[in-house]
Amino acid sequence: MHFWLAATLIAGMLTSPALVPGFVPARDHPPHPGSAARVSGRQADFAAAAREYGVPESVLLGVSYLESRWDTNGGSPSTAGGYGPMHLVDALPATRVEPGDALGDARGDDARPRSRTVTAAPPLSAMRMADPPATLPQAGRLIGAAVAGVREDPATNIRAGAALLASYQDRPSANPADWYEAVARYSGAEDAATAHDFADEVFSVMRDGVTRRTDDGFLVRLGPVPNLPALDQPAPDEKPEEVDKAGDTGQAECPASLACEWMPAAYKRFGKKKSRDYGNHDHLSRTRTVDYIIIHDTEGTYKGIPSMVSDPEYASWHYTIRSSDGHVAQHVPTNDIAWHAGNWDVNTRSIGIEHEGYLAKGGTWYTEAMYRSSAKLVKYLAGKYDIPLDRAHILGHDNVPGTTPKAVSGMHEDPGPYWDWAHYFELLDKPLKGVKDGDSIMIRPSYDKNRPRFTGCVTGKPAKECPEHGATTVWLHKEPNESSPLVSDPGKHPGKPGTYSVYDHSARASTGQRYAVAGRQGDWTAIWYLGQKAWFYNPPANPTAVPAKGPLVTPRKPDTKVYGRAYPEKSAYKLASYQPLTPLQYKIGPGQTYTVGDTIIGSYYAADAFSPAKHVTTTGKLRYYQIQLGHRVMFVMAKDVRLIK
């Protein structure tokens, strides 16, 4: 502890919170001129802790926002073992390393099924990562509080975090700019570059300011802090700087504002000497087109990542982002094909990004630090590959279609309903806004206010109700009332209604997804969804959707077929084996309308050899439209539908 900590209580008593840079009273409206500023709720806890330990309130608020967005998360620990608004780390929870996205065949190519289906994660013995530093006991000692109190009481947690932050500061200062290195150290990052990235984001939040209603029901405000030193950020319209291929140089492909680690995935043969099996991704000898970025969650801790990506018999993905500090590791060059989405067609045209966390508790600890690193990375990749920043191209794994009718029910559901798509797109500088005169609607509930029912968040208790939490999805009913059953998904629950399981997307629409309107009745709106009308609650006083505009299609004939991949016609195959155009179990008919996200020329990349020189690309003339059929995107042949612009 620094010598001056004991004196900060007296110093804090002499400092008015109104003089602390960034201080704004926690009210829905600023106080009237001449009135006393009344602070309530968690804002008062931050103000008191800042005074007590001599930390500028703006700094304390900025650090906490990056760690928890000022929430307590019901006392639950983060993936990294952090508790409370200050994300103070106790001993890690029991280590969980799950197979996550590698269950089944993440390659998703039924023409080249893997000889070994992954059912378990690699052993922990291959790991080389240290646990994050345990800061909670140390912080508790600084304020003389028991560990349980620091974990469970938000005000105590904030006090302990303020004391810990103050202990990292070389000398006291009321100037927020002087706290940069202390903030970097608070991140707990193993390397200086990642720690400074974290500090940069904290200072960016302080510079811009932010207001949010936290889980205690009160507003917390961090007003913009003037005169902070400018960060060395590229201009908004600046093109990302090209870097050498990561696989050739060991240099990660990342924007200059992110310190990224190169942690290569395994690329080697396995099995018998003459076996054609290899893993865990495909090298390319040509430049590929990238249409999608797929957002995943790991369903496990970051600590298990090195052992997974280094196993050639496991799956692969391009990047992983750590929850606690937003650290980014790259595993596969972006021009190579990672096996991550469970759909070979999507794999060949996408980049996969894993985010440390768990679907069933993701809203609790999908941290702001992770969101911001991810958004920086996605903006960089979208610029590099000319990928539109919309929900037709920035997909969750839960939006990827199955390849065949048999594969549909086993497709993954991550990152789940707690991933805050609206906030994510704000960080991408592409906020999800409505239009004045729309021909369709975009799902857009208020994340914090939208608290739908879910079950199954507790392992082994599928019927147990999940804790109330903000979410991005709306439930879809067969009729315009809450008591009506949820709609049925022929691929997930044939002949039965969908369920309220947090792992079941069969009767949900998600933030940013655009749908064609099928009807309106009172406070309810119907959309075309999986070949049927699906109703969701959308009252004008508190809408869960906004008007949107874009191309639509309607089928030309009954029982129009829908596909999970856009493969070419049979006559196009000259050097590769023909891949049948297998329709899924969904059918759509005249009078129904679906939104269009893209137009695609059918192609198939045959990568059935270890050497990329032996790979074959088949491109046909058959055109497809990518449509928002249900929660997942799917494809229809252009010749089978009529385009409505």
**Residue 341 reports pLDDT greater than 80:** yes
Residue 337: helix, strand or coil by DSSP? strand
Taking only the tens place, the pLDDT of each residue in 432-489 is 999 998 999 999 999 989 999 999 998 889 999 998 889 999 999 999 999 999 999 9
Residue 314: helix, strand or coil by DSSP? coil
Count of CA atoms in the C-beta half-sphere (13 A) of 562: 29
AA identity, residue 465: E
CA torsion, points 60, 66, 72, 77, in degrees to nearest 10?
A: -120
DSSP 637: E
| Sign of the dihedral through C-alpha 37, 40, 43, 48 | positive
Q: For residue 595, how far is the Cα from the chain centroid?
A: 23
Taking only the tens place, the pLDDT of each residue in 502-552 is 999 999 999 999 999 999 999 999 999 999 999 999 999 999 999 999 999
Residue 593 to residue 236: CA distance in whole angstroms = 37
* Residue 181 structure tokens: 């290195």
The answer to whether 471 and 362 have CB atoms below 8 angstroms apart is: no
CB atoms < 10 A from the CB of 522, how many? 11
115 against 109, higher pLDDT: 109
The answer to whether 150 and 140 have CB atoms below 8 angstroms apart is: yes
For 222, phi then psi, to 5°, come to: -115, 105
pTM: 0.89
**Residue 104 reports pLDDT greater than 70:** no
Q: For residue 77, how far is the Cα from the chain centroid?
A: 19
For 49, phi then psi, to 5°, come to: -65, -35
Q: Which domains does the chain have, with CATH numbers?
A: 3-92+131-222 (1.10.530), 234-417 (3.40.80.10), 434-549 (no CATH), 554-644 (no CATH)
Burial 538-552 (b: 16+ CB within 10 A, else e): beeeebbbbbbebbb
- Supply the pLDDT for residue 625: 98
Map 176-238 to HEC letters: HHHHHHHHHHHCCCCCHHHHHHHHHHHHHHHHHCEEEECCCCCEEEECCCCCCCCCCCCCCCC
* Average pLDDT of the residues of the chain: 87
Residue 38 to residue 302: CA distance in whole angstroms = 42
- Supply the pLDDT for residue 273: 61
Q: Which residues on adjacent β-strands are paired with residue 643?
A: 553
